[in-house]
Structure 1
Amino acid sequence: MRVFDIERQEWAGSRRERLFHTDQYLDVRRQKVVRQKTAIVLAVAGLTFGVWALAWKDEPEPYRAFTAARSDTPKETSDGPVDGSEDGAPPAQPSASLPAGYEPWQDAEGFRVALPTGWERDARSSQYGIDVIDYRSPDGTRRLQVFQLMETSPYESLQVAQVEAQKLDGYEALSLAEVTGGEEQAAEHEYRTDEIAGEQGGGTRHVIDHRFEAADGERYALVAYGSDADGPDDERELVDNALRWFCPPGTQCDTPAG
């Protein structure tokens, strides 16, 4: 039997219905309490979910092993043998036009030159152009130096260099002249000295300083150092082979004929 509930202002069901749906037949005050508790539970649940969601988003990504980027830039200096593995520049292809014991070498600075096999390479920065490159024999008694000239004339450059060379102990000039017969300008300064900058001992040194204009229109120097005791032939051979095979940076050059 349905009756009218004065407090709820609605028709209420029978007693059996009220037993199964007790919350619908609570008085107004109790209903308010129930609703307040329900709201509090829902609010706490929502807050808990929000904190969990934010914490989940802020978790770091799984660890990934770092892979270093590969660099193809050649090293500026090298102390190992001139075999192409130390300074990033592989040797050029061997040629029958070179004497026994020599090999062509493509330097990391971009130029090509010919050297005795097994020499070591060193480099230092220059005030102009390419780095100053030194190739040394394994025993340290011989050296070939390559660098770029600032002056506009090979002969003018040698005149400036001779002023400094004259200050060396035991300096003795053998020749200083322009080299004729070629298409480009060239000059050579040959001398003996008991003192070489950065080197000690070894007795009197024989030096051939050859400066020239290359195929790119720039000017370079090839300077050979060696002991004067064994004569001038080894320094002359060193300069001649290096000069014949020299190809400046950024230039395509043919293989010298035999």
Structure 2
Amino acid sequence: MRVFDTERQEWADSHRERLFDAERSLDLRRQRIVLQRTAIVLAVCGVAFGTWALGWKDEPKPYRPPAEEAPVASGTPDTPDDGAPPSDGTDPETDPSPSATPPAGFEVLIDTEGFRIAVPEDWTRDSTSSQYGIDIVEYRGPDDVSRVQVFQVMESSPYASVEEAQKAGSRLDGYRKIGLDYVANPDGGEAAEHEYTADELNGEPTTTSGYHAIDLRFTAADGNNYAVIAYGSESDGTDDERALLDTARAWFCPPATECAAPGSTS
């Protein structure tokens, strides 16, 4: 009996059909083996891939510098390594010491013209306009004779300024020069002093005792030249005017400038 072999696309008799059946059975077994092996390979690959995927997820993140891991918030001051608080931007060498105080009976003032000075307590203040720099400021005692005058000078140097002042003072009645010379300047610049007595002073009432004046001109910490002049009565000696001048000069600080207080430590 002939049959049609659909796989080979031909007619075959029953004997050849039996041979074909055996071959088909062998091909089927081979296909099953191939499928099984393929399944095993795929399973192994799946396990390997899963293990790799899990391992990749658990890998540590790339190292980043501390600045990237913990950025400092803008505007927050850093604390120095030694634990000291941030600087507030002030210089201890130029800040007045809180413990520094003027001599007994004196007070430290910040004048409306901007400068700092020390004068006796309860003295009155007056000022007049100046053709150069700050106003001419005057602090006067209750006796109406003792006073401290402060102004800015226009001459090129302190010594040149006191020379001009001495020329004008020499025309006063009873003028007697005690000295005119360079003196030490705590600010490091030039300073000169004119000391004298006279029977009169311009704009002041005439007295029977006469006047004693110490006129100091100096380059201050701001680079400008100033005058601080102490006046008093000649009859009580010269020590009180010297104390007035030395205290006023020691505490003087020009406008818009930071100065250390006398005797303060940095």
How many angstroms apart in 2 are the aligned matches of 1:255 and 1:225? Answer: 24
Q: Say if 1:94 and 1:104, in contact at 8 Å, map to a contact too.
A: no
Q: Structure 2: 5+ residue runs without aligned partners?
A: 1-95
Code of the aligned partner of 2:203: G
Partner of 1:250: 256
How many angstroms apart in 2 are the aligned matches of 1:138 and 1:186? Answer: 30
Tell me by how many angstroms 1:196 deviates. Answer: 0.5
Tell me by how many angstroms 1:226 deviates. Answer: 0.2
Does residue 241 of structure 1 match 2:261?
no
How many angstroms apart in 1 are the aligned matches of 2:185 and 2:206? Answer: 37
Work out the percentage of aligned pairs sharing the same amino acid.
53
The two structures have a TM-score, normalised by structure 1, of: 0.62
How many angstroms apart in 1 are the aligned matches of 2:134 and 2:163? Answer: 21
SS of structure 1 residue aligned to 2:109 = strand
Tell me by how many angstroms 1:257 deviates. Answer: 1.3
The two structures have a TM-score, normalised by structure 2, of: 0.60
Root mean square deviation, CA, Å: 1.8
Closer, same or farther: CA 144–94 of 1 in aligned 2, 3 Å: farther
Partner of 2:125: 121
How many angstroms apart in 2 are the aligned matches of 1:192 and 1:135? Answer: 20
Tell me by how many angstroms 1:144 deviates. Answer: 0.3
1:220-231 equivalences in 2 (<5 Å): 220-231=226-237
Closer, same or farther: CA 181–107 of 1 in aligned 2, 3 Å: closer
Q: Say if 1:192 and 1:205, in contact at 8 Å, map to a contact too.
A: yes
SS of structure 1 residue aligned to 2:236 = coil
4+ residue runs over 2 A deviation: 92-97
Does residue 159 of structure 1 match 2:128?
no
Q: Say if 2:100 and 2:261, in contact at 8 Å, map to a contact too.
A: no
Tell me by how many angstroms 1:184 deviates. Answer: 1.1
SS of structure 1 residue aligned to 2:154 = coil
Structure scoring higher RCO (CA < 8 A, sep ≥ 6) equals 2
Tell me by how many angstroms 1:96 deviates. Answer: 4.8
- Structure whose CA Rg is larger: 2
Partner of 1:130: 134
Q: Say if 2:197 and 2:210, in contact at 8 Å, map to a contact too.
A: yes
How many angstroms apart in 1 are the aligned matches of 2:255 and 2:128? Answer: 17
Q: Structure 1: 5+ residue runs without aligned partners?
A: 1-91
Give the one of 189, 193, 203 matched to 1:184. Answer: 189
Tell me by how many angstroms 1:253 deviates. Answer: 1.5
Tell me by how many angstroms 1:180 deviates. Answer: 3.6
How many angstroms apart in 1 are the aligned matches of 2:256 and 2:231? Answer: 27
How many angstroms apart in 2 are the aligned matches of 1:131 and 1:197? Answer: 18
How many angstroms apart in 1 are the aligned matches of 2:176 and 2:99? Answer: 37
How many angstroms apart in 2 are the aligned matches of 1:158 and 1:111? Answer: 21
Closer, same or farther: CA 230–148 of 1 in aligned 2, 3 Å: same
Partner of 2:6: none
Code of the aligned partner of 2:248: A
Tell me by how many angstroms 1:254 deviates. Answer: 2.0
Alignment: residue pair count? 167
Tell me by how many angstroms 1:141 deviates. Answer: 1.9
Tell me by how many angstroms 1:94 deviates. Answer: 8.5
Deviations 1:161-208 (A, max 9, x none): 111101000000000001146411000000000011111133310000
Does residue 100 of structure 1 match 2:128?
no
SS of structure 1 residue aligned to 2:235 = coil
Q: Say if 2:97 and 2:260, in contact at 8 Å, map to a contact too.
A: no
Q: Say if 1:105 and 1:112, in contact at 8 Å, map to a contact too.
A: yes
How many angstroms apart in 2 are the aligned matches of 1:94 and 1:120? Answer: 26
1:132-147 equivalences in 2 (<5 Å): 132-147=136-151
Does residue 195 of structure 1 match 2:197?
no
Tell me by how many angstroms 1:98 deviates. Answer: 1.5
Partner of 1:206: 212
Tell me by how many angstroms 1:132 deviates. Answer: 0.3
Code of the aligned partner of 1:245: W
Q: Say if 2:100 and 2:262, in contact at 8 Å, map to a contact too.
A: no
How many angstroms apart in 2 are the aligned matches of 1:181 and 1:112? Answer: 17
